[in-house]
Structure 1
Amino acid sequence: MTLLVDPLFEPTADRILGGRVEITQPRVGHRAGHDAVLLAAAVPAVPGDRILDLGAGVGAAAFCVATRVPQCFLTLVEIDPALAALAEQNAAANGFGNRSRVIVMDALARGAPREKAGLLVGEIDRVITNPPFHDAPRHRASPGAAKRLAHSGGDEVLAGFLRTAVAVLRPGGTVTLIHRADRPEALLAALKGRFGGITIRPIHPKPEAPAARLIITGTKGSRAPVAILPGLVLQDRYGQPTAEAEAILREGRGL
């Protein structure tokens, strides 16, 4: 795969998960951060699982999962060819090249185009996704095309990501996503009829602050009720990382 040259795409080499994962990513635009690591920590994966990252970017979340869970097999779907090329590079740099594949594809693709790209019905154990979650009419769009593509998406985009997830998951497989915390009703509406046994974990920037993110896991075919889990607080009142957040973000512990 050839990396396209873009004057705004100058890559940087970074390390996340306490230095355990090395990623090359664009200097400008959407950059991997806490959301990717928190998403990866929440995935209920076990060794040998087949994991699909929808809208994978440069692969940060997928490679954090693979670092915590040995012998899992990764499929990364990314619409941007330049980011997909970096994801392939990052897979090799982290030692996952022989058990990962990167597919350049729109995560919203249906039916025959999706299967032609290599995503077959019922073949995946775990789907992870950090879908575009800024509703364009409510948020000023980024001037950078790549960042705008990564961040902008309304309810239809969220529903499309989940439609793809439920199609490729095996019965009993799970989807885990991270999303804004200000519209839980839209999240539950998108999950309804597709997933059950839904768990919701709020992520709070500081004690007593409203949640900024929600991490949600749903199970295909489950009829279990929704459960709200204890929240995770990232920083104490003095702005220092909490012990639980440090264990997840730097030491690689699962949620």
Structure 2
Amino acid sequence: MSEELTQDDFLGGKIKIWQPRRGYRAGVDPVILAASVPAKPGQSVLELGCGVGVASLCLAARVPDLQITGVEVQADYAALARRNGAENAMPFTAVTADLRALPADLRQKRFDHVIMNPPYYDRAAGTVSDDAGKDIAFGGDTPLGDWIDTGAKRIGPRGYLTLIQRMERLPEVLDALVGRLGAIVVRPVAGRASRAPELFLLQARQEGRTPFRMAPALIMHEGDTHQCDQDSYTPLVSDALRSGAELPILP
């Protein structure tokens, strides 16, 4: 194993992921995102900002026969995504590109699903990290509206956009969706039942007509406080993280 990389198990060892030892490292958020995508066998998926491919490969492990394409601006992360797809024998293509300047072939395609885990922090309101990979993953220089705009353009008829983001940025996301996608469902994500949600999952649909809906919060951990060194994930979350089970945004 390279001293600069680690190979980590996801979904209870169903997939193994190479990622940088230092810098941005994927955690549970891309796994939760993948579990929330309502994909069916034979459909096409585009992930914007795929990193090393965790969300796409978790989705591929749950739903067979998907055609998945990832876009990643950092060439070293995109290379790891391609390696991870190949070593896990998953149908996954990773393209090195800025999502604001997609290759011509991607601009001509529409997908059944577009998924994304955009940087959580507004670059204008934060400081630059010393690690380039971590800086782009957590802040980046691409406005959140550009992520939504690019994603909406690539969704085919009745297709879905699914994303995860920090709660304070929900107004930005909803504003960017106006006039583009409908049938919006938001599911807050809280660490514990006693805490305010810090994240949210959102799903919207091309040509969607149903009214906006707020789903019950997804609670990540049992109990009001951390009691021991073992994880305390709720059964729904544990099934998604350990077994790759589906975790619908609207239960």
Do they fold alike, i.e. is TM over 0.5? yes
Matched, 1:193 2:179: yes
Q: 1:142 aligns with which of 129, 133, 153?
A: 129
Distance 2:84 2:140 in 1: 26
Name the SS of the counterpart of 1:221 in structure 2. Answer: coil
Distance 1:74 1:254 in 2: 18
Q: What code does the residue aligned with 2:116 have? A: T
Distance 1:26 1:95 in 2: 21
Partner of 1:38: 32
Partner of 1:22: 16
Structure 1 residue 79: deviation in Å? 0.6
Q: What code does the residue aligned with 1:82 have? A: D
Distance 2:60 2:199 in 1: 23
Partner of 2:168: 182
Partner of 1:250: 242
- Where do 5+ consecutive residues of structure 2 fail to align? 227-231
Matched, 1:131 2:125: no
Distance 1:122 1:195 in 2: 18
Q: Is the 8 A contact 1:29 1:144 kept in 2?
A: yes
Name the SS of the counterpart of 1:108 in structure 2. Answer: helix
Q: What code does the residue aligned with 1:34 have? A: V
Structure 1 residue 10: deviation in Å? 1.1
CA-to-partner distance for each residue in 1:191-231, whole Å, 9 max, x for gaps? 11111001101111011101111000110121221111111
Q: Is the 8 A contact 1:58 1:87 kept in 2?
A: yes
Distance 1:148 1:80 in 2: 11
CA-to-partner distance for each residue in 1:37-81, whole Å, 9 max, x for gaps? 000011010001111110000000000000010100110101111
Name the SS of the counterpart of 2:106 in structure 1. Answer: coil
Matched, 1:67 2:37: no
CA RMSD, 1 decimal: 1.7
Runs of 4+ in 1 over 4 A off after TM superposition: none
Partner of 2:42: 48
Structure 1 residue 169: deviation in Å? 1.4
Q: Is the 8 A contact 1:133 1:158 kept in 2?
A: no
Q: 1:187 to 1:27 in 2, by over 3 A?
A: same
Q: Is the 8 A contact 2:112 2:156 kept in 1?
A: yes
Partner of 1:164: 150
How many correspondences in the alignment? 240
Matched, 1:221 2:202: no
Q: TM-score, normalised by structure 2?
A: 0.91
Distance 1:74 1:61 in 2: 11
Q: Is the 8 A contact 1:122 1:171 kept in 2?
A: no
Distance 1:140 1:18 in 2: 35
| Aligned pairs (5 A) from 1:114-129 | 114-116=102-104, 118-129=105-116
Q: Is the 8 A contact 1:197 1:224 kept in 2?
A: yes
Name the SS of the counterpart of 1:222 in structure 2. Answer: coil
Q: Is the 8 A contact 1:41 1:252 kept in 2?
A: yes
Distance 1:169 1:183 in 2: 22
Structure 1 residue 122: deviation in Å? 4.7
Structure 1 residue 115: deviation in Å? 4.3
Over the matched positions of the two proteins, sequence identity in percent amounts to 37
- Where do 5+ consecutive residues of structure 1 fail to align? none
Partner of 1:235: 221
Q: TM-score, normalised by structure 1?
A: 0.89
The farther-off stretch of 59-68 and 121-130 is: 121-130
